[in-house]
Structure 1
Amino acid sequence: MELHLRTLVAVLEQMFFSSTVPIININFQKSKDEKYNINKCNYNIDFLLIHLRHTLHSLCNDITWFQDLLIKVKDILKSILNIIPSSRVTDPNDNYSILSMLTQLRQDLNFKYPVAPYYVNWRIMLIIQYNIFNWSRSNKEVINKKFGEMILIEYFWSYLEEEWININDKTIFFNDLIGYEPLELSNTLWFGVLDLAQNLIQKSTQTATYGLCYYMAIESLNKTPNSFIQFKAIEILLHLYNIDNELFGKI
């Protein structure tokens, strides 16, 4: 099931970043007499279901909203990386640090349908990753691939440090799939960033990338308030162990 869900996520992400985003009308409402039994044995499945739900909701927004968001993130990111002069960005007087970029973008995001609080940061992170991958893997190679990976890891750490400051000790909850309240798990953004790190490991050949993601997983394992994050951290460590059991054999 996880493979099928990741395929659906990949398709939705392509729709999100395409130049012509279709407007989707969705309705999750079912009969109140219908019962759903959710067996949480794979937290990747839980996370992917959450991601699919909120991405479908975000695709119900106006097309102009998508285009404006993509352009804004791309321009600010270019300014941070000195790919274009800051005068090309919408507000050249702003301090284009990671924190200031996130603050500015959060204020500009509005969703037609309700999404969980984590999803705003998650969507911004996905757009950042999309642009960096494109710049580092295009024929023109705007930025070096290794440099692109280091940039991504810097953003991953930035998000995780914010999560660690606001560690939530609440018990994991899984909202009703058919209700009006957003589907959410505790520390969803934390899990999502670790999932992106795992994906980066699978695509990378750089030992430095492996090492930084290793410490990211170790820190998460030490700080985790629940089994949700523990699951993903251990999954990353096991993957790294399979790559090099001598270098990443200690937890």
Structure 2
Amino acid sequence: MSETYTFSDPRLSTLDGFRVEITSEKQRADVILDRPPLNVISMAARDQLRLVFEALDEDERVRIIVLSGMGEHFSSGGNIKGFMEASPEHVSKLAWNIAAPSRCSKPVIAANRGYTFGVGFEISLACDFRIVSETCRYALPEQKLGQIPGSGGSARLQKIIGVTRTKDIVMRSKRIAGKTALDWGIATECVADSDLESTVDALVDELLEFSPLAQRTAKKMLNDTDDAFLTTAIELEGLNYSRLRQSEDFREGVEAFHEKRKANFTGR
């Protein structure tokens, strides 16, 4: 049974256009964009989303975080008027705020359906897994405003699909369907719209079976080596492997394997 998450930080006493729920028995937190009908993400919400992910990262009750949107659309993007009202200094921090899911040590799943535009796409790209429905449409439409993506969208996308396809999306404000996103490696999985929630639920259950320590280590290692030389990445992989070799979870995993039973990982 999920319940409303309560934050101690007074800056999160009233959330702007989204809500957070926790399901303790599943060790799961849900960050749900909830400003119908298009779940526009305000400037204030960007600041709060960073604080929320940082708080959830520190909460020992939470193992997995799911980011989703209410209704037919994940998010049509940001509040356009807000860009003109914000100071240049504030705008310069947008990418740091939206990168919060990537910095979070825990697995973060984005559940995308319908419009997933602008900052909605960018924050999804900062997540570890993107489960999309067949109705999902990804886009970075900033060129239509005489702008470029400002929260890491083009940079992350280029890492995933290369410069040619990224130029096609960014410079033409092109919309990419969920199936195409899967084929291009943007999406982790593409499912029927009616199956989106159950597919995300199944992924949460699957991730909970693994060692939380190994999960955190894998996420950080992969993020840290994304732009590293191959030799550096291999060296860091070996060092992290050696560190986990000393963990209680690895010992439990080996013993469970030989005893043909389910491992009981504790994150130590």
Q: Please, what TM-score do these two structures have when normalized by structure 2?
A: 0.30
Q: Please, what TM-score do these two structures have when normalized by structure 1?
A: 0.32
Q: Which has the higher strand share?
A: 2
Q: Which has the higher helix share?
A: 1
Relative contact order higher in (CA < 8 Å, ≥ 6 apart): 1
